Structure 1
Amino acid sequence: MKNLRPGTLYLIAFALVQAFYLPTRTAGFVTDFTGLLGRFDGQGPAGIWDCFGFPALQQVLNAILYGMYSLFGTAHIPWYLLQTSLHALNGVLLFLLAQRWLLRLGHARPQAIAPLASLLFLLSPYASEPVTWRVAQNFLLVTAAALGSGLLALKWAERPNPKTWLAIMACFLPALFTFELALIIPALNAVLLLSLPGQRAAHALKVIAPQLALIVGYFFINRALLGSWVGHYGAEVHLRFQPLEVAANFLRYAAKHLLFARYWPHTWKAALFNGLLNPWAVWGLLALLSSALLYIAGTYRQQKPALKLFLLAALCYGASLLPISNLYFNFTLLVENDRYGYLPSAFLSLGLISLLSLLARRAVLIAAAICLLPSAALLWSTNQKWQVANQMYHALLQGFNSYHAEEVYLLNLPDNYQGIGLFRDYSGQDHAFADALRYIRQQPYTGKIHEVAQYNLTRLTDGATAARDSSGQIRVEFEQWGNWWWHRGIGMGSGYRSEGYEVISHGHHYFLLGAPPADGKAFLVQSGLGWKEVE
């Protein structure tokens, strides 16, 4: 593959991505996507400047999202092609980066590592969320910028010239205003440049120092425009570092990706990921890994190029994981928050294949197949779930016929299908279903929707029954086992009070109190692919 042109490599990667992602072509217009369109509503291009009210410096991202929506609305093919094209591009960039890096490290046959690392990255089941969810372009774009900047940094190290330097900055500066994960690009560039034989620190600083200066300016702009040094989730989240939790997440992300642990039975993965919060396990494993990496670093010049690359890929993995290592690690359901591991998974794939390449040639192929085959199978299975979730999403939107009612009570709105988002709203304003009617079905409902309870859908046939007793309260009960009640993105617990009604949960069923029948009110219960009205 070393003689293939980048354009040919891209066509191969693009075709491979299409083969696995075609089932998702109409999916992904859910949850935060409708919230994004709500921010766009009534605003023109000038809203890009303040990111349509979102508290982060993401002007480049918002320009792309707003441009896509202005040109194509919610037509699924343009969005699908954009995100699958970006994923294919990232696979090719990883291939080219690995190949060039290995050559500079003195590896005689980089074609033994680069294509396998790229394949493992492209066919990761954990890429399904950022590739399919239509508001996750920021992860795809920043990964392209990070890998592209790294590739250019290697080119700069070989032959410094102003054009290459400007190209590196042209990758970094827009990425900085796309997503804050771009802050780690200088660290990645530093690892790449300082790893090369004969490379001087002063030479690397010509790239790194301007990037660091831009980051300082970025924080001052945050302060000036947002009133805080840190945007998005805010300083109280991004600057909250619990040493044990942060250290554990480096191990938990690695276990999640390398062992496909998200797909294990719940009791198994709970034991693994909760076990990796045990201080003895965390600090003990990190001490072992750190000792191995320090040994490789201490004997760096004597090590084989593949082992050097393993060390460097591990450093890049750690750098790219650092900004999200203090965020909540989700392992309960499929897909959710998998986007956080998208960029780190590129270096994890590269590091793993580098280690495997130390085996004999036939053993390398067998070991790579052991990694690639389950990865591809799980990716296909996950994308099939996106397709099923999308079927339920549109069926419930098209099946809503209560436009005549002044108020609608949705008694069991599906929050997710096996972890894949359907109707979720963290705002507390019960906007998820109403926004989907407005922007996806494009038939707005003008009354008030109460999203009384959500739940985790596990099959298309799932649903609930509801009946009103003589006192006026409604009993809502699952038609099957294996679900639980949700409210605003988390478990409902024992219930809650809202303006005008109260919900009391008993696990498999709940009672809705204080919402008597009246003209202009509709009480709907979902069963299978449709709604039934409660009398």
Structure 2
Amino acid sequence: MFKINQGRSLIIYPAILVVIIALAGIVCYYPIINSFFLSDDLVLIAIFQQVGPWGLWVNQQHGQSLFFRPVLSLISFLDYQIWGNYPLGYHLTNLGFHLSNALAVGWIASLLVRNFPIGRHYKIVLPYISGFVFLLLPSHTEAVSWISARTDVISSFFGFVAFIAYLIGRNSRYKYPYILSLLLFFMAVLSKESIVTFPGLIILFEIYHYFTHKQDGKLWKKRLGLIIPYLAVLAVYFIWRVIKIGTLVGGYGEDIHLRFDFGHIAQNLIIYPTRTFLPPIFNSSFSLWLSIFWLIVLLSLACTSLLFKSRTPDPSIPPLLLFLAGSFFVAVLPAINVFVSITDTQGERYLYFGSGFASIYLAVVLACLCMNIRLILVVSSILLLIFGLTVQSLNQNWRVAGSISQNILLGMLQDHPNLPAIITAIPDNYRGAYIYRTGLIQGLYLFGGGEKYAIAFNREPGDGPFERVQFTTNNIQTVMHHNLRELDDTILIRQDTPEIYQFNLSNPETSFLPWPKNSLKTLDYEVIKFAPTQYQLLLKNPDLADHLIFYSDGRLTASPY
């Protein structure tokens, strides 16, 4: 009877915890489940409508794109085939992958601690704490809540499961887990190129395993040789990539990915681990995040110190922490030259894959500092509650951004602005949640404004293997973008002369953003003075005064002049 009950508990308790994890994720991300499309989302769907399943693979979006992501393109196209112009299904896909990733992180933690000389309760609790931490990390809202950031969620799924298959296969007499790992790794890099450092994770693990298990050197070299097929897969990927897109670097270009500014990299080495665990802090400075970084270091040292002072020290835990910390930095290495904001959610998607290993790291540190299973559960529950409330709060920003995006689109479709429309200010983002950095023309095209605004779809040969794919119109000109902090942020207009208009942001914590894609000088107008919170517009044709529109005080507004 005891064995039957024990067997049932091995099934029932994990199943209950999995259900709780799923419910926690749904509750925290519920605000964005049916949130409207934002920015690149609309570009993505419009490309699929016109080009088909490989639209994001070999075609240039808005002039130029060098991303080679066929698996991502296929998954997103299947979403489009099912859901069309309804955002609900796309958000469900993102959330489904995120929930799966949380379970995968817990599984990785289970495989890492299964041979530890620690109590059975710790071995059970640590994986679930790791999965819960990953699920509720405040740094995940951009990757999960923004449809277009699914690149990181989907590629990480394949990366995590590939690592699980490797950990299982390295000790198995069967080859299929190892072959599965190679296949999943290939699918991961075909979803996002940043997973190219995956072989580095395997090298780190084998080094960690060698020093903690004191295995024979010949066996270690043999296992280290397992990395060669992964490098072969990587070589196939790069060859295929060069053939298809004509370049090895791609992405945002060599100016970003090969810009080795060591000051910027040093800052990222401090910002990345701190932002992984903490939400953005508005108006915070780098010095604050440096202090938080040293606090994390001190907690890690305290954890190690307690381990050596305990009666039953486990010498394998400090190397495990080193492995997890090293894995985090290996995972984020491809994004070390980019930007992750400390004041809002922009760019935090680059931390997603690495945060899986950071979540396990945090769970291990909590277990070592608390030294008691009940205390671990209490402390972790408090921490997870804080994380969950923070995620809910941040998701309100994404929900509001979706509402603004939809209202602007409806305003352009229904309020019939005079054509050509000159948009003097349109929201780029709301507290870091993107709105119309791009995608307005594609949104109008998708939702019935193609004829009204005479939007044309152009598809012509481009450089190398590319086609140039663009949606264009002469009836919409965008002068300036701006960010929003509050829904009632207002733009004040003053007419200095019959031809010159002064635009001022009412909120000093916001700014105008003159993106390079915007035309600051055309036959109809010219920006003659610019400052972060104000600019002057010279309207060369005074008859176009009634054509000026902008977003202010929560709505799309026509100029009163």
Cα displacement (A) at 1:212 = 0.5
Distance 1:180 1:289 in 2: 31
Structure 1 position 186 matched with structure 2 position 218: no
Cα displacement (A) at 1:69 = 1.6
1:17-416 alignment, distance < 5 Å: 17-27=25-35, 29-45=37-53, 47=55, 50=58, 54-108=65-119, 109-196=122-209, 197=213, 198=215, 200-205=219-224, 207-258=226-277, 260=278, 262-263=280-281, 265-266=282-283, 268-273=284-289, 303-332=314-343, 334-358=344-368, 359-361=370-372, 362-400=374-412, 401=414, 403=416, 405-416=418-429
- Per-residue CA distance 1:329-380 (angstroms, 9 max, x = gap): 3223x21111001111111121122122113214434543453232222111
Distance 1:5 1:229 in 2: 48
Distance 2:405 2:338 in 1: 28
User: Any stretches of 5+ residues in structure 2 without a counterpart?
Assistant: 1-8, 308-312, 455-473
Match of 2:489 in 1: 462
Match of 1:299 in 2: none
Q: How many equivalent residue pairs?
A: 511
Task: Check whether the contact 2:35–2:88 (CA below 8 A) recurs between aligned residues.
Answer: no
What is the identity, as a one-letter code, of the residue corresponding to 1:452?
V
Task: Check whether the contact 1:28–1:133 (CA below 8 A) recurs between aligned residues.
Answer: no
- Per-residue CA distance 1:483-522 (angstroms, 9 max, x = gap): 22222289x9xx9544532222355443210343327961
Larger deviation: 65-74 or 233-242?
Answer: 233-242
Match of 1:429 in 2: none
Distance 2:298 2:111 in 1: 31
Distance 1:25 1:112 in 2: 30
**Normalised by the size of structure 2, how large is the TM-score?**
0.82
Distance 1:195 1:308 in 2: 6
- Per-residue CA distance 1:256-291 (angstroms, 9 max, x = gap): 233x2622x41x434335899xxxx99xx999999x
Task: Check whether the contact 2:44–2:56 (CA below 8 A) recurs between aligned residues.
Answer: no
Cα displacement (A) at 1:307 = 3.0
Cα displacement (A) at 1:319 = 0.9
Cα displacement (A) at 1:208 = 1.6
Task: Check whether the contact 1:94–1:114 (CA below 8 A) recurs between aligned residues.
Answer: yes
Q: 1:433 to 1:313 in 2, by over 3 A?
A: same
What is the identity, as a one-letter code, of the residue corresponding to 2:482?
Y
Higher relative contact order (CA 8 A, sep 6+): 2
Q: 1:4 to 1:213 in 2, by over 3 A?
A: farther
Q: 1:191 to 1:524 in 2, by over 3 A?
A: same
Cα displacement (A) at 1:248 = 3.0
Cα displacement (A) at 1:186 = 1.6
Match of 1:16 in 2: 24
Match of 1:517 among 537, 542, 549: 542
Cα displacement (A) at 1:320 = 0.5
Structure 1 position 417 matched with structure 2 position 436: no
Match of 1:501 in 2: 525
Task: Check whether the contact 2:421–2:548 (CA below 8 A) recurs between aligned residues.
Answer: yes
C-alpha RMSD of the superposition = 3.4
What is the identity, as a one-letter code, of the residue corresponding to 1:527?
S
Task: Check whether the contact 2:156–2:188 (CA below 8 A) recurs between aligned residues.
Answer: no
Cα displacement (A) at 1:244 = 3.8
What is the identity, as a one-letter code, of the residue corresponding to 2:251?
H
Larger deviation: 144-153 or 198-207?
Answer: 198-207
Larger deviation: 454-463 or 364-373?
Answer: 364-373
Q: Helix, strand or coil for the counterpart of 1:113?
A: helix
- Per-residue CA distance 1:437-483 (angstroms, 9 max, x = gap): 223x4433325212222221122222223354552222323345432
Cα displacement (A) at 1:402 = 5.3
**Normalised by the size of structure 1, how large is the TM-score?**
0.85
Match of 1:486 among 489, 513, 520: 513
Cα displacement (A) at 1:128 = 0.7
Task: Check whether the contact 2:206–2:224 (CA below 8 A) recurs between aligned residues.
Answer: no
- Per-residue CA distance 1:2-61 (angstroms, 9 max, x = gap): 645876654433222111111101226211222323433532346465256631321111
Percent identity, aligned pairs only, is 21
Q: 1:404 to 1:314 in 2, by over 3 A?
A: closer
Q: 1:308 to 1:370 in 2, by over 3 A?
A: farther
User: Any stretches of 5+ residues in structure 1 without a counterpart?
Assistant: 297-301, 426-431
